[in-house]
Amino acid sequence: MSRTEAAPAQARGDLTERLLAGLPAEAVLTDPDVTASYAHDMASFCPAGAPAAVVLPRTVEQVQHVMRTATELRVPVVPQGARTGLSGAANASDGCIVLSLTRMDRILEISPVDRVAVVEPGVVNAALSRAVGEHGLFYPPDPSSWEMCTIGGNIGTASGGLCCVKYGVTAEYVLGLDVVLADGRLMSTGRRTAKGVAGYDLTRLFVGSEGSLGIVVRAVLALRPQPPRQLALAAEFASAAAACDAVCAIMAGGHVPALLELMDRTTVKAVNDLAHMGLPETTEALLLAAFDTPDPAADLAAVGALCEAAGATQVVPAEDAAESELLLQARRLSLPALEAVRGVTMIDDVCVPRSRLADLVEGVARIADRHRLTIGVVAHAGDGNTHPTVCFDAGDPEESRRARASFDEIMALGLELGGTITGEHGVGVLKKEWLAREIGPVGIEMQRAVKQAFDPLGILNPGKLF
Amino acid sequence: MSRTEAAPAQARGDLTERLLAGLPAEAVLTDPDVTASYAHDMASFCPAGAPAAVVLPRTVEQVQHVMRTATELRVPVVPQGARTGLSGAANASDGCIVLSLTRMDRILEISPVDRVAVVEPGVVNAALSRAVGEHGLFYPPDPSSWEMCTIGGNIGTASGGLCCVKYGVTAEYVLGLDVVLADGRLMSTGRRTAKGVAGYDLTRLFVGSEGSLGIVVRAVLALRPQPPRQLALAAEFASAAAACDAVCAIMAGGHVPALLELMDRTTVKAVNDLAHMGLPETTEALLLAAFDTPDPAADLAAVGALCEAAGATQVVPAEDAAESELLLQARRLSLPALEAVRGVTMIDDVCVPRSRLADLVEGVARIADRHRLTIGVVAHAGDGNTHPTVCFDAGDPEESRRARASFDEIMALGLELGGTITGEHGVGVLKKEWLAREIGPVGIEMQRAVKQAFDPLGILNPGKLF
């Protein structure tokens, strides 16, 4: 049976029976109407198949049973968290077992002395953030979907977020993992100590591997002390290039903002349309900077001066934490707001060296013009990580075609500028044709060799990444 | 030919001839008196063989030629930097090619806007630190050997240092690599952008792989803005346990020291004996804390109070940067000073969760008593990373035997306490028997599978790690 064809009824029956030998009935879903609801993550333009079954284990042993069964019957397994991913990495393939980790959602330990949390993969990011906050601790990675997305999904996709410019990405907070391998064996990687170099760093290999190397069933996460509350400013610019100049001046000047975000005019207008926030629509680009330092007002003053030197037409520091939170909220609403423009969006995720940020933003504007499309640019500007967001009407095939073409041209531009096709959303299905362009034939060959080492039968999330 | 036997003269002649086809004569050393000087790194108790040749390439193409030759003739290759490693990972094997990267020592680029440096592997750590410092930038990893050790060696061994407690280890500063594979092909990994998740994280796989997966010929390193100068304090304690309690209180209290180091009485005395520094020998444990924050005096006052609450008998803040530097210097002299005690040392490198630091330090004292040995403990206490340093007379076989036994017992204790056998020095030859104990049979099998994927002929630094 080809792995991309639907399993025949007989095989599906066998599979269900085998799964039920190690899982309670309520943990195995086979009604096609129900399983269909597990077919997709939040990416546009990514095909998805019909799962043969959805399993919802609560224990490591149950996950091991699922993988042993999958190995025995040669059935592909697609691991899933909250399906908030943006690259189709969690999309089902025909006849697969969807392995949802959402019920393994216990926080097993929080240690203020060791500054670690030990969690199951289904813990929601925001739930962990709040729980560690009660101990005066901080789990920095904060993807936009943080109220829904799971730690397991964050690990699988190597998620980023707003505060990466200061605190880095998910990968930097994963100290150790328990992983169920393709054949059902359990392996521990890494450590719970602050440091450790015993053997190859398999922990990091699993981070961002999109479920293609094994199933994460437990993670030891590094925590930080909770910083002071952020204070933010907004700076308006008459051109996106001037805003990017300000970003370069801020970073070259040795400042360490807790966030440094850019919203272009299209995005600002979309947010106002959606949420009536009264953001300044007369601007070409809005830069948001925030500091969580001991004296954020002083840092904001210095950064405000750099913005003015770069040509900011207005610099507005927030008066207090509430005003700062409002600015942040505007930024967090950018993607839903852009989605409302034409009904559907494709969110690109190109990261360039920040010295090339202006070139990217200007290039995206040219691509939008050429394709007669609205493309809003929001960016984790301090990291050079842009999300050019192509707005289009999915009911219009010709417009959809132009949307896809512009999406690809933006990636090509990113590579041309020395950047990457994905700063934080991953490859999944959406960009797998592009991975080879970025990393070249030798890179692809070695990536495949690693995949082969962990998953010789090719049952773990096949069709993703490569 | 077995890889551990010396190459017969004929084979050695063929090898030399083939190497000279792609390398200038001055880059190929075969005089056994000369090549013998490349046999060892700085680890005790690690066997080393006689190289067939030492090569000193200056270009990527020359490294590729070496690896193509090695593949063709099935000759093992041992990559080396400055040979300051402490686990024997750079030790030659009989008949091998020693591949010294020390002549590839150019800093190719330093970008303040992108906060990256691009370097060849032979750049000395201190040379890079000084060069980026001139741009107001900071390359944090600072192993004790920083004036000698190379970036390539730091990457191969995943080096740590004093400032890891705030700034992390080498791994966190490696964004991308150019690697020559076992068969001579060139592969690029990672990125020069701040973020990027395109494919498996092969960059991190190479960091700490001790030259067993490929030869790093170029690295893109992340930099930070230069922090303010450190201000330090010293706190004396009547017991090591009280000092460890202070460490826990400081870290649980949300403080972020730039270093937090512990020296026990044995170490303090040894440093005084070596360098007449006038450190207080009446103490059982000396804790050094330093801050590079905007207001270090305030942070030191808070930490000093926590030390006193934990039972410090005296807390002495440095008056200025010069006094702070003196304390740091005392710490940096600890290992040479302990070496002078009995002529030779075995430096262990056990890292435990910092909540178990006191248990480890006390356990080491029991082990020292039982074996009638002097074991000085210096520790990156803030990270729980201890260097119990066994002092012994290598001319006394019985004492040497007890030294080795105590060294192993310290690792066993570290594992028992939930720690790792190596926090920052690596596995190399010294601890390869112990790696399996730490990561278990499934872990070892998957580590070997990764090795097999990159080095199917087993020519890259064989006999290390496993």
Q: What is the DSSP string of B97-109?
A: EEEE-TT---EEE
d(CA A375, CA A413): 15
Nearest chain A CA: its distance from B273 CA (Å):
31
Show the domain range for B305.
231-416
Least CB-CB distance to A158: which of B197, B256, B427? B197
Q: How far is CA B156 from CA A323, B146, B161, B439, in A?
A: 47, 15, 15, 20
B205 contacts on A by Cβ (under 8 Å): 200-201, 204-205, 450
d(CA B68, CA B184): 5
Residues B36 and B152 in one domain: no
Residue range B368-400, pLDDT digits in tens: 999 999 999 999 999 999 999 999 999 999 999
The number of folded domains in chain B is: 3
Residue A79 lies in a domain: no
Residue B191 touches chain A, beta carbons under 8 Å? yes
Residue B251 lies in a domain: yes
Mutate which: A193, A245, A255, A417, vs B, most B CBs within 10 A: A193
Mutate which: A178, A197, A411, A427, vs B, most B CBs within 10 A: A197
Q: Quote the tokens at residue B72.
A: 């063709």
Q: Quote the tokens at residue A423.
A: 């700063």
Mean pLDDT of A222-227: 97
pLDDT at B186: 98
Q: Pick from A225, A243, A276: which residue ends a domain?
A: A225
Residue B432 touches chain A, beta carbons under 8 Å? no
Which of B465, B460, B466 has its CA nearest to residue B96? B460
Mean pLDDT of A179-203: 97
Minimum mean pLDDT among A128-132, A144-148, B72-76, B136-140: which range? A144-148
- Residue window 377-416, chain A: list those with CB within 8 Å of chain B: 380, 382-385
Residue B444 lies in a domain: no
Identify any residues that bridge with B174 across adjacent strands, giving them in sequence order.
Answer: B221
Nearest chain B CA: its distance from A436 CA (Å):
9
Q: Is A426 within 8 Å of A157 (Cβ atoms)?
A: yes
CATH number at residue B126: 3.30.465.10
Residue range B66-121, pLDDT digits in tens: 999 999 999 999 999 999 999 999 999 999 999 999 999 999 999 999 999 999 99
Q: How far is CA A319 from the centre of its chain?
A: 31
Residue A102: is its pLDDT beyond 60? yes
Radius of gyration of chain B (CA): 22
Q: What is the DSSP string of A353-393?
A: -GGGHHHHHHHHHHHHHHTT-EEEEEEEGGGTEEEEEEEE-
Least CB-CB distance to B446: which of A193, A202, A256? A202
Mean pLDDT of B208-234: 97
Residue range A347-382, pLDDT digits in tens: 999 999 999 999 999 999 999 999 999 999 999 999
- Residue window 91-120, chain B: list those with CB within 8 Å of chain A: 111-116
Residue B5: is its pLDDT beyond 60? no
| B197/A251 CB distance under 8 A | no
Q: Quote the tokens at residue A463.
A: 């069709």
Residue B438 lies in a domain: no
Residues A133 and A244 in one domain: no
B160 contacts on A by Cβ (under 8 Å): 195
pLDDT at A9: 63
- Residue window 9-48, chain B: list those with CB within 8 Å of chain A: none
Residue B306: is its pLDDT beyond 80? yes
A199 contacts on B by Cβ (under 8 Å): 208, 427, 435, 438-439, 443, 447, 465
d(CA B107, CA A420): 23
Residues B117 and B242 in one domain: no
- Report H helices in B290-333: 296-309, 321-332
Number of Cβ within 10 Å of residue B400's Cβ equals 18
d(CA A349, CA A229): 28
Q: At residue B47, what is the residue type?
A: P
Number of Cβ within 10 Å of residue B415's Cβ equals 16
Residue B445: is its pLDDT beyond 90? yes
pLDDT at B22: 98
Question: Phi and psi dihedrals of B344, rounded to 5?
Answer: -140, 155
| A195/B385 CB distance under 8 A | yes
| A195/B452 CB distance under 8 A | no
Q: Is B160 within 8 Å of B146 (Cβ atoms)?
A: no
Q: Quote the tokens at residue A445.
A: 């060959």
Residue B4: is its pLDDT beyond 50? no
Mean pLDDT of A122-144: 97
Average pLDDT, chain B: 95
Q: Is B94 within 8 Å of B47 (Cβ atoms)?
A: no
Residues B196 and B125 in one domain: yes
Residue B440 lies in a domain: no
Q: Is A286 within 8 Å of A378 (Cβ atoms)?
A: no
Residue A260 touches chain B, beta carbons under 8 Å? no
Residues A164 and A246 in one domain: no
Minimum mean pLDDT among A3-7, B82-86, B239-243: which range? A3-7
| B172/A169 CB distance under 8 A | no
Least CB-CB distance to A252: which of B113, B385, B465? B113
- Exposed, middle or buried by CB within 10 Å (0-12, 13-18, 19+), for B268? buried
Q: Give me the half-sphere count of Cα atoms (radius 13 Å) on the Cβ side of residue B130.
A: 7
Which of B228, B260, B209, B466 has its CA nearest to residue B378? B260
Residue B425 lies in a domain: no
Give ipTM to 2 decimals.
Answer: 0.95
Going by the DSSP 8-state scheme, the letter that residue B6 receives in this structure is P
Q: How confident is the model at residue A5 (pLDDT cuts 50, 70, 90)?
A: very low
Residues A219 and A284 in one domain: no
Mean pLDDT of B261-268: 96
| B442/A207 CB distance under 8 A | no
Residues near B298 by beta carbon (within 8 Å), at least 6 away in sequence:
none
Q: At residue A188, what is the residue type?
A: S
Going by the DSSP 8-state scheme, the letter that residue A407 receives in this structure is H
A225 contacts on B by Cβ (under 8 Å): 254-256
Residue range A44-92, pLDDT digits in tens: 889 999 999 999 999 999 999 999 999 999 999 999 999 999 999 999 9
Residues B67 and B123 in one domain: no
Interface contacts A/B by beta carbons within 8 Å:
265
pLDDT at A149: 98
Residues B13 and B53 in one domain: yes
pLDDT at B9: 62
Residues A240 and A380 in one domain: yes
Residues B212 and B88 in one domain: no
Residue A99 lies in a domain: no
B165 contacts on A by Cβ (under 8 Å): 194
| B255/A225 CB distance under 8 A | yes
CATH number at residue A387: 3.40.462.10
- Residue window 48-87, chain B: list those with CB within 8 Å of chain A: none
Using a CB cutoff of 8 Å and minimum separation of 24, what contacts does B251-254 make? Answer: B251/A113, B251/A115, B251/B354, B251/B382, B252/A112, B252/A113, B253/B302, B253/B306, B254/A136, B254/A225, B254/A226
A435 contacts on B by Cβ (under 8 Å): 198-199
Sign of dihedral through CA atoms B29, B30, B34, B39? positive
Nearest chain A CA: its distance from B200 CA (Å):
6
Residue A251 touches chain B, beta carbons under 8 Å? yes
Q: How confident is the model at residue A3 (pLDDT cuts 50, 70, 90)?
A: very low
Mean pLDDT of A397-414: 97
pLDDT at A1: 36
Residue range B128-186, pLDDT digits in tens: 999 999 999 999 999 999 999 999 999 999 999 899 999 999 999 999 999 999 999 99
Residue A226 touches chain B, beta carbons under 8 Å? yes
Residue A2: is its pLDDT beyond 50? no
From its phi and psi, is residue B358 left (phi > 0), alpha (psi between -120 and 50) or beta?
alpha
Residue B366: is its pLDDT beyond 80? yes
Helix (H) / strand (E) containing A346:
strand A344-347
- Residue window 140-169, chain B: list those with CB within 8 Å of chain A: 157-158, 160, 164-165, 168-169
Q: How far is CA B462 from CA A54, A199, B437, in A?
A: 45, 14, 20
Q: Pick from A225, A250, A276: which residue ends a domain?
A: A225
Residues A172 and A274 in one domain: no
Q: Is B220 within 8 Å of B175 (Cβ atoms)?
A: yes
Q: What percent of chain A has pLDDT over 70?
A: 98
Q: Residue with structure tokens 């303090």?
A: B268
Residues B213 and B114 in one domain: yes
d(CA B133, CA B127): 10
Number of Cβ within 10 Å of residue A430's Cβ equals 28
Residue B8: is its pLDDT beyond 80? no
Q: Pick from A171, A196, A225: which residue ends a domain?
A: A225
Which SS3 state, helix, strand or coil, does residue A30 take? coil
CATH number at residue B96: 3.30.43.10
d(CA A207, CA A228): 29
Residue B325 lies in a domain: yes
Q: What are the b/e assignments for A178-197, b being 16+ CB within 10 Å?
A: bbbbbbbbbbbbbbbbbbbb
